[in-house]
């Protein structure tokens, strides 16, 4: 009893502290939100506010919800998604918003942190629903996305995940995705390796603790076998490993012609550096997680000639991409990655669906999804199947003379 009393006192004090903190927190948020979503468009937002109060009915706000990790080890993914979406929303609002019927909608984004965990994703989604979101752009990571698909299907709300690449992310009719799925990417890379590059003996190094990496590797190996090739070595590591000498030594002992690394650039940096230290001269191929690798390698020669599938590459000379990268760098002093590009496309997809549907009702938006064509950063004329998968061409990027370049067909 003694200890209980002791605790009660501290508990009460703590709740007091907390409630006062949340008090100012939410106030802050309210004032911050509009400036955040329309940073450079103060004038525009003031105008719309005035219009709302005076004329009403002509303009309205359309609230898009987003979820992704803003804290924790995967924070960079969620931050990119949030910022990419904000750039798109700013552009759309600057250009006068989205016109649906007689009403002009300005877009707004409410983004909640899910720490890339499943339980927090559910909390984040429910918090967004409390705020009255009309469309969900999320989640960012596969597990978190799968955890909320049941709920979005129940609510019948349109869900577009920019980067949830597991097949289960779009298992319901209301869910769509922008990125390629893991199996799609693995299969495409295998086809490319065998058909275009002409390799028959491949080695694979993948992260067996990551659903993304393991999913791609599995599909890749299956497709290689189906194409009549041979996987001579399939080596795995665990997220966070920095020493890959064991795996590389094993591969060195085989007659592999190429090494496939479906992983993120941080891992790729270590692997390619250690391979070059060991005197291995095998070429590398990779997945879209490679984007950004040139910024982290100490010597670009270690990744020279590597080819990876990529829906988006910030350093590529394409007018749309250049404009996006400039806007992003101006706003956040960072180079956008594929997550930001996927989110950017997701927002434009929502805009296209609203215009096609002529309504903002979830049912109409979902029905419109299969009828629209979006010209995005991650693909030209993207269309969506009823299953929710995007139909777009996969692009390959080669590292040549220390620069990213699209592989010419």
Partner 1 sequence: MENKKKLLINVVIAIVVYAAVMILLNSGLLNRQMRSLITPICTNVMLAVSLCLIVGFLGELTLGHAGFMSLGAYTGALLSLNLPFPPYVSLFIAIIAGGCVAAVAGAIIGIPVLRLRGDYLAIVTLGFGEIIRSVINALDITGGARGLSGIERLTNYNHFTLVFVLTLIVIVVVSNLINSRHGRAICAIRDNYIAAEACGIPVSRFKIMAFIISAFLAGIAGVVYAHNIGILKPANFDYNTSIEILVMVVLGGMGSIKGSIIAAVILTALPELLRGAADYRMLIYSIVLIAMMLFRNSNFNAALIEKKNLKAMQKLQKEGK
Q: Compare residues 89 and 353 and give the one whose CB is closer to partner 1.
A: 89
| Of 139 and 376, CB closest to partner 1 | 139
Inter-CA distances, 368 with 207, 373, 384, 389, Å = 38, 10, 10, 14
Part in contact with partner 1 (CB under 8 A); list of ranges 121-129, 196-204, 246-254, 388-396 = 121-129
Query: How far is the C-alpha of 325 from the C-alpha of 310, rounded, in Å?
Result: 16
In the bound state with partner 1, the residue whose beta carbon lies nearer, of 10 and 298, is 10
Distance CA 371, CA 218 (A): 33
Per-residue binding string, partner 1, 146-165, x by CB under 8 A, is xx--x---------------
Cα angle for residues 197, 199, 204 (degrees, 5° grid):
110
Residues of this chain, 225-284, that bind partner 1 according to CB under 8 A: 238-239
Q: Which residue has the tokens 């650039």?
A: 265
Q: Does 89 bind partner 1 (CB under 8 A)?
A: no
- Subset of residues 164 to 223 that bind partner 1, contact rule: CB under 8 A: 166, 168, 207-211, 213-215
* Closer of 115 and 345 to partner 1 (Cβ): 115
Question: Which position has the token pair 């918003």?
Answer: 97
Write down the least CB distance from residue 17 to partner 1, Å.
6
Helix (H) or strand (E) holding 265: helix 265-277
Q: Which is nearer to partner 1, 126 or 242 (CB)?
A: 126
Name residues contacting partner 1, limited to 19-38 (CB under 8 A).
Answer: 19, 21-22, 25-29, 32
3-state secondary structure of 375: coil
CA atoms 147, 310, 94, 357: torsion sign: negative
Closest CA to 136 of 63, 78, 185: 63
Binding site for partner 1 (CB under 8 A): 2-11, 13-15, 17-19, 21-22, 25-29, 32, 70-71, 112-113, 117-120, 122-123, 126-127, 129-130, 142-143, 146-147, 150, 166, 168, 207-211, 213-215, 238-239
């Amino acid at each position: 009893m003694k200890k209980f009393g002791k605790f009660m006192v501290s508990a009460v004090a703590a709740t007091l502290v907390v409630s006062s903190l949340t008090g100012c927190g939410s106030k802050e948020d309210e004032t911050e939100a509009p400036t955040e979503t329309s940073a450079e468009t103060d004038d525009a937002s003031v105008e719309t506010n005035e219009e709302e109060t005076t004329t009403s009915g002509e303009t309205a706000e359309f609230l898009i919800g987003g979820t992704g990790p803003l804290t924790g080890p995967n924070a960079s993914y969620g931050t990119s998604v949030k910022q990419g979406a904000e750039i798109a929303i700013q552009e759309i609002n600057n250009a006068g918003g989205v016109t649906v019927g007689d009403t002009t909608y300005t877009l707004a984004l409410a983004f909640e942190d899910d720490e890339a965990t499943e339980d927090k994703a559910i909390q984040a989604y429910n918090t967004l629903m409390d705020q009255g979101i009309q469309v969900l752009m999320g989640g960012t990571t596969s597990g978190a996305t799968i955890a909320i698909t049941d709920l979005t299907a129940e609510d019948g709300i349109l869900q577009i995940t920019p980067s949830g690449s597991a097949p289960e992310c779009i298992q319901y009719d209301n869910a769509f995705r922008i990125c390629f799925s893991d199996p799609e990417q693995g299969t495409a890379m295998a086809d490319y390796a065998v058909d275009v590059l002409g390799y028959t003996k491949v080695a694979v190094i993948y992260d067996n603790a990551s659903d993304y990496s393991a999913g791609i590797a599995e599909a890749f190996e299956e497709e290689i076998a189906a194409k009549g090739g041979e996987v001579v070595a399939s080596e795995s590591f665990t997220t966070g490993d920095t020493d890959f000498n064991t795996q590389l030594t094993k591969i060195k002992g085989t007659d592999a012609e190429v090494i496939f690394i479906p992983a993120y650039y941080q891992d790729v940096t270590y692997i390619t550096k250690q391979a070059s230290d060991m005197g291995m001269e095998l070429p590398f191929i990779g997945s879209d997680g490679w984007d950004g690798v040139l910024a982290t390698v100490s010597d670009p020669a270690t990744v020279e000639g590597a080819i990876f599938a990529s829906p988006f590459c910030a350093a590529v000379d394409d007018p749309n991409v250049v404009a996006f990268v400039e806007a992003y760098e101006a706003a956040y002093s960072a180079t956008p990655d594929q997550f930001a590009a996927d989110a950017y496309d997701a927002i434009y997809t929502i805009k296209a669906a609203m215009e096609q549907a002529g309504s903002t009702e979830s049912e109409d938006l979902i029905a419109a999804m299969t009828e629209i064509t979006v010209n995005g950063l991650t693909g030209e004329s993207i269309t969506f199947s009823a299953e929710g998968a995007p139909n777009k061409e996969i692009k390959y990027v080669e590292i040549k003379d220390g620069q990213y370049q699209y592989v010419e067909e």
